[in-house]
Amino acid sequence: MARELTQIIAHRGSKGTRPENTLPAFHAALMDGADGIETDVHLSKDGHLIIMHDEKVDRTTNGTGRIVDHTLAELKQLDAGGWYDAAYAGTQIPTLDEVVQLLIRQKFTGIFNLELKTNKIHYEGIETMVADYFNHHEVPFKLVYSSFYGKSIERLHALQPDVEFDSLFQTKFKTAKRLHAEQIIIGYHPDIRWVRRHWLLLPKVQLRPWTVNTERDMKFCYRHRFAGLITDYPGLAHRLRVQMQGG
C-alpha cells in the first residue's frame, strides 16, 4: 500500500507569488497544485466575515485602522493588491463567502483550513457566525478549523463537532496537548523552527508545520512524511514533492 503524500497547504494562498489573502492568491495556489488552502477570518464593524491576516488593514492595503472599525463597504474601497505589485492594483479584500465561492467554482475538493483570528481581538459571536455559514452552505472541500485561541476551538467544536480541529502554536503547546487529550483536536500546526527541535517528543498526531518556505525545510517535512506542510510557495513545494514522494 502506497504511503500517503505530505499535503501542501497554501499559506494565505500563494502568498509568496501574489498579494496574500486575495482571490488571485487563492486561484494561483490551486493552479500550483496545492492540496489545501489556509486563510484567516475576522469580523467587520457591521458583522461581515472578512479574509485578512492582520487585525489592521495597514500592512496589506492602502488604508489604515482595524478591520473591526470599518464596515464592509469601507473595506471594499481599499486596494489590497497594489502594495505587492502594480499589476494587482485594485484587488479587493475578500469576504469568506467570496473565497468559498471561488473554491466551489474551481471544483476544489482539498482542505480549507480557516484560522479564527481571535487571539488578539475576541470578536463577539464570530464562532457562531462561521459555524452558521458552513451549516447553510454545502461545500465540496474538507473544512478544518484552527486558532491560537483555545476558546475559539472549544466553542466551534461545540457547534460543529464533526469538523476537524487543529491547534496552532509557536513554542508552548500546553493548550494544544490538553485539547488533544480531550479529543477536541486531532492535529498540531506548529512553527517549523519548533518542530525541528521537538518533533520526536510530540505525541503521534497529524503534523502540519508552518511556514515551510525553504527547500531545506520542505525536504525535512517530506523525508519524515509529515501529514502536511503550510507554505507561501505551493508551486515549489509541489515540484519538490514530485521528486521526493513521487506525486
Q: Annotated active-site positions, please?
A: 11, 53
Can you tell me which residue has the cell 503547546?
Answer: 173
CB 23 within 8 A of CB 99: yes
Q: 23-31 and 96-105 are packed helices; what angle lies between their axes, rounded to 10 degrees?
A: 30
Can you tell me which residue has the cell 509529515?
Answer: 226
Distance CA(60)–CA(79), nearest Å, equals 8
End-to-end CA distance of the chain: 15
> 196-224 b/e with 16+ CB inside 10 Å = b?
eeebeebeebbbbbbbbbeeebbebbbee
Phi-psi region of 225 (alpha: psi -120 to 50; beta: other; left: phi over 0): left
143 alpha-carbon distance from chain centroid? 11
3-state helix, strand, coil in the chain (%, to 5): 35, 20, 45
What is the four-CA torsion angle of 107, 114, 23, 137, rounded to 10 degrees? 50
Peptide bond into 211 cis (omega under 30): yes
Q: Read out DSSP for 63-88?
A: --SBGGGS-HHHHHTS-SSTTT-GGG
